[in-house]
Structure 1
Amino acid sequence: MMADHYWTLKRKIGQMVMCGFHGTEPSDDIARLIRDEHIGGVIYFRRNLRDAAQARRLSTQLQQLAGGKVQLLIAIDQEGGMVNRIDNGVTIMPGAMALGAARNAAFARQTACAAGEELKRLGINMNFAPCLDVNNNPANPVIGVRSYGENPQLVGELGSAAAMGYQEAGVAATVKHFPGHGDTGEDSHLALPLVPHGRERLERVELAPFRQAIAAGVDAIMTAHVMFPAFEPERVPCTLSGKVLTELLRRQLGFTGVVVTDCLEMGAIADHFGVAEGAVRAVEAGADLILVSHRIERQQAALAALLRAVEQGRIPERRIDESVTRILAMKRRRGLLGGGGVPAASDVPAAEAALRLAETVSERSVTLVKEAGRLPLDAGKPVFVVWPEVRVGTEVDEVIPQTETLSFWLQRLGYTVREERIGVNTMKWEADYLLQESLGYEQVVVLTYNAEASPQQVRLVKKLEARGISLIVASVRIPYDLNAFPHIGTYIACYENRPSAMRALASVLAGRIQAVGKLPVTIRPAYPYGWSWNG
């Protein structure tokens, strides 16, 4: 195929670049990149997607721009739980750590397959999920509940099952972030993290899940912008390291699929190497698909730098041919070579079935960590609920307006509830207001969100506990919140605040179901991996 006159050098390099854009219609910039630069893929963010019908139209428009011979990869980060680029008109499946608490590989495969079928209906054919990062660092600012947990075997089992679920639905799965972003204390969106461990430990922990996914036949692997001195002695992230991408991933682990970079506009690359030079070095290292998600000038610079590198002999054209061959093989498996287009709208299971699945998994994930005789809530007394809101979004903290909060579900179960919303990074005056407004309530439920990074959340919990009321704390993101107030009497880990999780929590608080989830991470020695108050 590489000898075909259709495959000019420019077309081949275009296939190796995936770009993002702004707006809910094809922008002039993305249209030009597709038509003139022949880029091989587009990535969606929340900025591109209003609802399912609009997403489907957008995918159709983009594929029409690409013509028909080689369709676009249309990718998304739809991890479930707390990271979803679209939530209107699709089912929000439980995230990785909730699945880790439920301890069921069949659930991981089923939820991924159901989510994949919905994505396919929207014309989305590649998912940058699941995360195979082993989250054994409680201070990790970017992975956390996106990981299945701290146990490599559990992460590998559930992650491989999820990857196969997406691919069963016809969507290319992308496991990430190779060789592992779980034991970092910095966010590679902002910095250049380093994992200092020796090779033996990395083989046993970080690499083990990726070995399982490779053996299962995953389509793609995304690189981490993280330094691993045990694999690469130079101060370069794995995305730019031939020792990692070619020697380790290709030759030692035997991966023959597509290697896609994490976005080169992240600080770890853009601030230290530059996007254009980063693109060239990533291809030299062994990457196949270069991701540049945001700015047109950087996207054009990456394309131009790759073309120039080949024309000037820095990158042999056969190296380009190797990557394009792998990309086209994946596109062929996913039905993206010749014709096809966006699947018919009817080619998706009933949304009701997907929702029931999400609710079942959420019910199995809620984990009772501590209990001091405060469950169930007394239906004869009013309940004061504190709901934390994300008000400033990031790549991994999305602002999603939510009506089906805990109070919504408690009211459906017959409780009288007053709910007060605060910012995740609440101010002292907000905490003081809540302390005042909650006076007179004998039952208070505080939902916490990454509390250790929010002093006022911690202060609020401690002052409420000092009142001697029936206080229940439930974390709705990382379960490590308990370490900020270790003497709290009743503590529940939910791993996310999405509707199915809050429905399950309400059922536990009301005594309708028992919390049967098991901790997928160690909170502290008294509450280790696998712990549940209910045994």
Structure 2
Amino acid sequence: MTELQLTLEEKIGQMLICGFDGLTPNDHIQQLIEKHHIGGVIYFSRNYANVKQIADLSYELQQMNAASSQVPLFVSIDQEGGMVARIDNDEVTLVPGNMSIGASRDDELAYEAAVICAKELRQMGINVNFAPSLDINNNPKNPVIGVRSYGENADLVSELGIATIEGYQSSDLAATAKHFPGHGDTAVDSHYGLASVPHNQARLMKLELAPFIRAIQAGVDMIMTAHVMFPAFEPEQIPATLSRRVLHDLLRVQLAYEGIIITDCLEMHAISKEFGVAEGAVKAVEGGADIVLVSHTLQEQVAAIEALIGAVRSGRIQEEQIDVSVKRILALKHKRHVGEYEQLTGSVAEQFGTAERKDLIRQLTEKSITLVKDEQQLPLNLSEPTLVIWPEVRHHTQVDEPIVQAYTLGPALAELGANVKEFRIATHPTEEDIQSAIQLAAQYKQVVVVTYNAVSELHEGQVEIVRQIAARNDVALVVASTRNPYDLNQFSEVKTYLCCYENRPMTMSALAKVLTGQLKAQGKLPVTLSPEYSFGMAAQ
């Protein structure tokens, strides 16, 4: 089938990827598929209960679509790994996040991890991953990228990003380099506002754009746009997602990119509050986007579709441009065999999260633990009672989802013979949390405080706990960050500090091994924390 055999409505439908709420096909997604001919769906954790359920959902959606269309669906997800994973239970093999991989410096294991992720997603009927993030995180105040980046160095981000892209695409999972031209050096979360990157073109080409240029050369299937302004390329007050100068002149012409350009979700406030979703969809396609992503609201999804159809009929957008985009979409669907899908049968345990796969991920994870400083406090004294203070993610954000995990650092240390008590607080600790933690710590001479984005103003209670305990002369205090690594800057007086980049169970197991001396910390800093603790550094 070519794009010329499709009606205008069917062509526009191919240019939409939409989300819905549910574990089974509902009226929302049925309307989008049957009436509006959408080209793809996006899954979130709201769509996932277990492997068999989501595999069945993918199959049922493809079957529903096949009844009215000869073009199979893109089935997409943000499965970046680590802290950004829509599917994260024990059934699957959860790969580390980008900054953990950046600390490991191991491109071969990065490739193998991507292959594992791709194979399991494809078996669940998912054929597009909105990953990897190729943003260079060189701004400690960035609220949305952080550990989603491999680090602050263009060569490191490029090398590990290409390994991941090649791992995905070798297993027929379409990869997506994001967020073009780079969301790393911003202090505003584009889910909530419109950020700007002020640097000149020479700096942007050398740093922010370098990994994307390498990804284009490596044949990446998709590039996702950033809802961020780049005055060096676009003098008007509009984000890259809506800029023809960025999407067409820079990405298509100057960088010679021939793959699919997809927007980040247009319901993010940087677009929806500034321009509106429907107008944002038209502006994005005018700018050169092939696919627009509208993740949540049926009313907004339908409005975007109708606005695009209207823009073509009024002559605002030429149908020839739509044809070119649809041709790219159909070509990628054919290349990645998205029409080849089967209902999942057989034992889930034999196909997902196998011991062999988890062992490879364990190797990669263990290479990521980074010892930044240690003034002779490690290994922990296993005979000394130990208190672990654990921050629990209880607040939902556009990036974080509440995680109440059973296997934390306390159980991991206990498995290795430590006499340990764990006390849980919120990542946004209340005054009661703070005082309870400090009073309990007063009863211990060996304390491990786990921090989670303590650099955030919302999390300053974590900083108070660390500082109060560190002020004592009679305590061996160890601090381990489990998200962004910059927490040390909030309490430089701490004598022992490690970076883990995520708090997932396998990472906590690796951290416990390092703390007890069973494993040597092998990670190297993927970012600079301060002049004293710079990129590439690790304590001996």
TM-score range, shorter chain: over 0.9
Residue 142 (structure 2) pairs with residue 140 (structure 1):
yes
Partners of 1:329 and 1:341 in 2: CA distance = 21
Q: Is the 8 A contact 1:113 1:165 kept in 2?
A: yes
Which string of whole-angstrom CA distances, capped at 9 and with x for unpartnered residues, describes residues 328-347 of structure 1?
1110111124x544566679
Please tell me the residue identity of whatever aligns with 1:311: R
Q: Is the 8 A contact 1:71 1:341 kept in 2?
A: no
Q: Which residue of 1 aligns with 2:190?
A: 188
Q: Is the 8 A contact 1:82 1:496 kept in 2?
A: yes
Partners of 2:263 and 2:356 in 1: CA distance = 35
Q: Which residue of 1 aligns with 2:207?
A: 205
Q: Is the 8 A contact 2:4 2:323 kept in 1?
A: no
Partners of 2:105 and 2:537 in 1: CA distance = 12
Q: Which residue of 1 aligns with 2:290?
A: 288
TM-score under structure 2 length normalisation: 0.97
Residue aligned with 2:228, SS? coil
Q: Which residue of 2 aligns with 1:233?
A: 235
Partners of 2:266 and 2:214 in 1: CA distance = 27
Q: Which residue of 1 aligns with 2:71?
A: 70
Which string of whole-angstrom CA distances, capped at 9 and with x for unpartnered residues, describes residues 182-206 of structure 1?
0000000000000000000000000
User: Residues 446, 200 of structure 1: CA spacing in aligned structure 2 closer, same or farther, 3 A cutoff?
Assistant: same
Residue 65 (structure 2) pairs with residue 56 (structure 1):
no
Which string of whole-angstrom CA distances, capped at 9 and with x for unpartnered residues, describes residues 290-322 of structure 1?
100000000000000001111111111111011
Structure 1 stretch 83-92 or stretch 150-159: which is displaced more? 83-92
CA RMSD of aligned residues (A): 1.3
Please tell me the residue identity of whatever aligns with 1:121: Q
User: Residues 345, 161 of structure 1: CA spacing in aligned structure 2 closer, same or farther, 3 A cutoff?
Assistant: farther
Residue aligned with 1:307, SS? helix
Q: Is the 8 A contact 1:92 1:498 kept in 2?
A: no
Residue aligned with 1:262, SS? strand
Deviation at 1:419, TM superposition (A): 0.5
Alignment of 1:367-406 (within 5 A): 367-406=370-409
Which string of whole-angstrom CA distances, capped at 9 and with x for unpartnered residues, describes residues 370-428 of structure 1?
10111001111111001111101222112122111111111111111100111001012
TM-score under structure 1 length normalisation: 0.98
Deviation at 1:78, TM superposition (A): 0.5
Q: Which residue of 2 aligns with 1:163?
A: 165
- Identify which of 361, 366, 380 aligns with 1:363: 366
Residue aligned with 1:222, SS? strand
Residue 525 (structure 2) pairs with residue 526 (structure 1):
no
Partners of 2:150 and 2:356 in 1: CA distance = 24
Which string of whole-angstrom CA distances, capped at 9 and with x for unpartnered residues, describes residues 243-263 of structure 1?
000110011111111101000
Q: Is the 8 A contact 1:382 1:443 kept in 2?
A: yes
Partners of 1:144 and 1:514 in 2: CA distance = 25
Q: Which residue of 2 aligns with 1:254?
A: 256
Q: Which residue of 1 aligns with 2:472?
A: 467
Q: Which residue of 1 aligns with 2:356?
A: 353
Q: Which residue of 2 aligns with 1:458?
A: 463
Which string of whole-angstrom CA distances, capped at 9 and with x for unpartnered residues, describes residues 161-183 of structure 1?
10111111211000100000000
Unaligned ranges ≥5, structure 1: none
Which string of whole-angstrom CA distances, capped at 9 and with x for unpartnered residues, describes residues 248-291 of structure 1?
00111111111010000000000010000000010010000110
Partners of 1:237 and 1:3 in 2: CA distance = 29
User: Residues 432, 350 of structure 1: CA spacing in aligned structure 2 closer, same or farther, 3 A cutoff?
Assistant: closer
- Identify which of 461, 486, 490 aligns with 1:484: 490
Partners of 1:43 and 1:184 in 2: CA distance = 26
Q: Is the 8 A contact 1:120 1:343 kept in 2?
A: no
Partners of 1:341 and 1:31 in 2: CA distance = 20
Q: Is the 8 A contact 1:121 1:344 kept in 2?
A: no
Residue 47 (structure 2) pairs with residue 44 (structure 1):
no
Q: Is the 8 A contact 1:70 1:336 kept in 2?
A: no
Q: Is the 8 A contact 2:92 2:352 kept in 1?
A: no
Deviation at 1:356, TM superposition (A): 0.8
Please tell me the residue identity of whatever aligns with 1:185: A
User: Residues 58, 170 of structure 1: CA spacing in aligned structure 2 closer, same or farther, 3 A cutoff?
Assistant: same
Deviation at 1:122, TM superposition (A): 0.7
Please tell me the residue identity of whatever aligns with 1:90: V
Please tell me the residue identity of whatever aligns with 1:301: A
Please tell me the residue identity of whatever aligns with 2:330: L
Which string of whole-angstrom CA distances, capped at 9 and with x for unpartnered residues, describes residues 102-140 of structure 1?
001112111111111111111111000000000000000
Deviation at 1:348, TM superposition (A): 4.7
Q: Is the 8 A contact 2:370 2:538 kept in 1?
A: yes
Residue aligned with 2:524, SS? coil
Q: Which residue of 1 aligns with 2:17?
A: 18
Q: Is the 8 A contact 1:137 1:184 kept in 2?
A: yes
Q: Which residue of 1 aligns with 2:155?
A: 153
User: Residues 421, 19 of structure 1: CA spacing in aligned structure 2 closer, same or farther, 3 A cutoff?
Assistant: same
Alignment of 1:426-437 (within 5 A): 426-437=429-440
Deviation at 1:365, TM superposition (A): 0.5
Q: Is the 8 A contact 1:63 1:341 kept in 2?
A: no
Partners of 2:403 and 2:78 in 1: CA distance = 15
Unaligned ranges ≥5, structure 2: none
Q: Which residue of 2 aligns with 1:332?
A: 334
Identity, % of aligned positions: 53
Residue aligned with 1:419, SS? strand
Deviation at 1:4, TM superposition (A): 4.9
Partners of 1:408 and 1:117 in 2: CA distance = 31
Q: Is the 8 A contact 2:56 2:344 kept in 1?
A: no
Please tell me the residue identity of whatever aligns with 2:47: N
Partners of 1:177 and 1:343 in 2: CA distance = 33
Partners of 1:326 and 1:382 in 2: CA distance = 62
Q: Is the 8 A contact 2:482 2:502 kept in 1?
A: yes
Residue 506 (structure 2) pairs with residue 500 (structure 1):
yes
Partners of 2:170 and 2:110 in 1: CA distance = 13
Q: Which residue of 2 aligns with 1:81?
A: 82
Please tell me the residue identity of whatever aligns with 1:518: K
User: Residues 215, 48 of structure 1: CA spacing in aligned structure 2 closer, same or farther, 3 A cutoff?
Assistant: same
User: Residues 342, 322 of structure 1: CA spacing in aligned structure 2 closer, same or farther, 3 A cutoff?
Assistant: farther
Which string of whole-angstrom CA distances, capped at 9 and with x for unpartnered residues, describes residues 413-469 of structure 1?
111110011100101211100111222211100000110222211010011111120
Deviation at 1:147, TM superposition (A): 0.1
Partners of 1:113 and 1:325 in 2: CA distance = 28
Partners of 2:510 and 2:25 in 1: CA distance = 39
Q: Is the 8 A contact 1:2 1:321 kept in 2?
A: no
Please tell me the residue identity of whatever aligns with 1:83: V
User: Residues 342, 256 of structure 1: CA spacing in aligned structure 2 closer, same or farther, 3 A cutoff?
Assistant: farther
